[in-house]
Amino acid sequence: MPNTTIPADRQRGRPREFDPDRIIERAMQIFWTRGYQGTSLPDLLEATRLSRGSLYAAFGDKHGLFLLALDRYIVQALKRLDDELASGQTALAGLQTCLDGYVARTDGAAGKRGCLVVATAMELAAHDQEVSKRIAHFFAAMEARLARALQHAQKEGALLRNASPVATAHLLVCFLEGLRVVRKTGSEPDKARDAVRALISSLTT
C-alpha cells in the first residue's frame, strides 16, 4: 500500500488550524462526485475551506491531494469488505453479505455516483503511474480477500470442489466492479439481484 503520510517538511512550522484527515475526507467526497478532471481548484478550496496557500503547503498540489483521497477511499473500501466477509457464521454467508452489499450500493444516488476506484481507473490509470499502482493494489487486495473466503467456503463444503478459489475470486472482482458500471446506466435493481443469485447458484453445492 502506498505511503500516505504527509511529509515531515510540510508538518514543520506553526501548528495547523485544520485537521488534515478531515480535509482529505472532504476532498475525497468532491473527487468521488466529480472525478479528477472535473474537480477544479476552486471546487477543492470550497469543499476543504482552505486557502490556496494552505492547501498547497499541506498537500503539495491537486494531484497530491487526490492520491491521499484515493488512498483513503481504498482503505475504507477494503475495511468494509473485511467486515462483510466476516459477518456470517459461514464463509458462504459472508460472501453473500458482500455480494448483497455491492448490489445495495448500486441503488439510488449512491449507485449513480459509482465507485471512485473504477472511475479513476477509467480516467487516469492508463497514463498516471501513481494512480495505476493504487488501482492495482486495490484489485489485488480485493481478489486476495475473496479467494481466502472462497477457500474457506470450499473447506466447509459449500463451494464446488472443482471450482478454483483464485479464478473464482477474479471472476467476482470483474462481476462486482462491472456491476457498479452497469448500474450507473439505471438498469433495474432486480436484474442485479438475480445475477448475484445465479452466480452463487453456479458456484455452490
Average pLDDT, whole number, for the chain? 90
CA distances from 47 to 26, 42, 57, 58 (A): 6, 8, 17, 15
Name the phi and psi angles at 6, rounded to 5.
-70, 130
Top CATH class of 8-203 equals mainly alpha
> Residue 183: what pLDDT?
86
Whole-prediction pTM: 0.87
Give 29's contacts (C-beta < 8 A, 6+ positions apart). 47
Q: Kindly list the domain boundaries of the chain, sorted by start residue.
A: 8-203
In percent, the amount of the chain with pLDDT more than 70 equals 92
pLDDT tens-digit profile of 125-137? Answer: 999 999 999 999 9
Cα distance between residue 47 and residue 25, in whole Å: 10
Whether pLDDT at 3 is above 70 = no
| Gap between the Cα atoms of 74 and 142, Å rounded | 10
Grid coordinates of 182: 452497469
Backbone angles phi, psi at 159, to 5 degrees: -100, 140
pLDDT tier for residue 9 given thresholds of 50, 70 and 90: very low
What pLDDT does 16 receive? 56
* Whether pLDDT at 15 is above 50: no
Q: What value does the mean pLDDT take over residues 119-126?
A: 96
Closest CA to 17 of 56, 40, 49: 49
pLDDT of residue 186: 75
Coil, strand or helix at 86: coil
Reduced 3-state DSSP string for 134-194: HHHHHHHHHHHHHHHHHHHHHHCCCECCCCCHHHHHHHHHHHHHHHHHHHCCCCCHHHHHH
